[in-house]
Amino acid sequence: MDDVASAKVRLPVARFRDASEASKRVAHEIARLIRQRASENRRCVLGLATGSTPIRVYRELVRMHREENLSFFNVVTFNLDEYFPIKPESPQSYHRFMNENLFNHVDIIRSNVHIPSGTVPLENAPGYCRDYEDLILKFGGIDLQLLGIGRTGHIGFNEPGSTRDTLTRMVRLDSLTRKDAAKDFGELDRVPLLAITMGVDTIMQSKRIRLLAFGEHKARIVQQALQNRMSSALPASYLRQHPDMQYLVDGAAASCLPPSIFGTSLQ
Ligand code: PGA
């Protein structure tokens, strides 16, 4: 990790040598939380993300499960979002992503896994979204929320225009988000127009937030999310109000940030 970022003060932006190092740092924090809760006979509620960014985190958690007896027996998960409509077995579905990258490889209790449905009848979606919120609250809220950031500045699928008070709901995907997803779906026309996502407020209610951003293509949006005026035009900018939020970035994603940001307050 960067010299400045390795100083004792807990910093909101930490720059790592590479994505692997940053991912391991988050995975180890998650593992500590799971074990601490288990030792107190309590559940650990994780908010999980999909996409290319968190894959290494899941890989490290699976390794710790296999090699270091990390059990997910006390873990409850809530995923951020899912395309709509999409079948859970579809190659691009986030249900399938989570199974393949994490859940199939650890001892999590399946009924403790929650991912927004891509198949709920459209007319039932508002009630379904309210129930998803209620369920998070019933489990005592999210202890740690893992996040990526899209090039639109979205967190989850909270695209530009998503206000600070938004909750879980059906949204329309931004055209840039759909363009970025086109490689997964084969062509742009196959990318769903809609999604169900936790809201900005749902995310902000998490006790800890850890946002990962890797690669040069994220550099500009990371800089804007940290330095532009806070507004619904850039939903990730709201994260600066969170009392326990940290950005973990690699050198490429940090390349538009001024050196002074490492170790300064974000307010
Ligand atoms: P990515 O997506 O991890 O595939 O870059 C991040 C996001 O859109 O939140």
Substitution candidate for ligand 1 out of 26, 81, 149, 217 with most atoms within 8 A of CB: 149
Which residues form the pocket of ligand 1, taking CB atoms under 6 Å from any ligand atom?
A: 51-53, 148-150
Q: What is the pLDDT of residues 173-204, one digit of tens each?
A: 999 999 999 999 999 999 999 999 999 999 99
Residue 212's DSSP bridge partners are 248
d(CA 212, CA 222): 10
Atom from ligand 1 closest to the CA of residue 54: 3
**CA–CA distance, 46 with 187 (Å, rounded to integer):** 32
Are the beta carbons of 149 and 236 closer than 8 angstroms? yes
From the list 192, 133, 203, 137, the residue with the least C-alpha distance to 164 is: 203
Q: Judge if the upstream peptide bond of residue 85 is cis by omega within 30 degrees of 0.
A: yes
Question: How many residues does this entry show for the chain?
Answer: 267
CB contact burial 17-53 (16+ within 10 A = b; e otherwise): eebeebbbbbbebbbebbbebbeeeebbbbbbbbbeb
Q: Which residues are catalytic?
A: 159
Question: Domains plus CATH for the chain?
Answer: 19-212 (3.40.50.1360)
More confident residue, 263 or 135: 135
Nearest Cα residue to 199 out of 243, 230, 227, 169: 169
Residue 262 banded pLDDT, cuts 50, 70, 90: confident
Nearest residue (by CA) to ligand 1, atom 2, is 51
Mean pLDDT value across residues 113-138: 98
Ligand 1 center to 51 CA (angstroms): 5
Cα of 98 from ligand 1 centre, angstroms: 14
Q: How far is CA 184 from the centre of its chain?
A: 19
pLDDT of residue 6: 42
Rounded to the nearest whole angstrom, what is the distance from the C-alpha of residue 102 to the centroid of ligand 1?
Answer: 17
Q: Which of 48, 50, 52, 53 to mutate to test the pocket of ligand 1 (most atoms within 8 A of CB)?
A: 53
Residue 67 has which token pair? 């090699």
The ligand 1 atom nearest the CA atom of 149: 9
Q: How far is residue 267 from each of residues 17, 41, 163, 183, 242, measured CA to CA in Å?
A: 26, 37, 19, 37, 10
C-alpha 52 – ligand 1 centre gap (Å): 6
Ligand 1 atom, smallest distance to 177 CA: 8
Tokens of 46: 């994780």
pLDDT over 70 at 142, yes or no = yes
Nearest-angstrom CA–CA distance, 198 and 121:
18
16 has a pLDDT exceeding 60: yes
Structure tokens at 33: 């939380």
| pLDDT higher than 60, residue 216 | yes
- pLDDT surpassing 90 at residue 164: yes
Ligand 1: which of 23, 52, 80, 177 to mutate, judged by most atoms within 8 Å of the beta carbon? Answer: 52
Atom of ligand 1 lying closest to residue 154 CA: 9
Quickly state the pLDDT bin for 160 (edges 50, 70, 90): very high
For ligand 1, the distance from its centroid to the CA atom of residue 112, given in whole angstroms, is 24
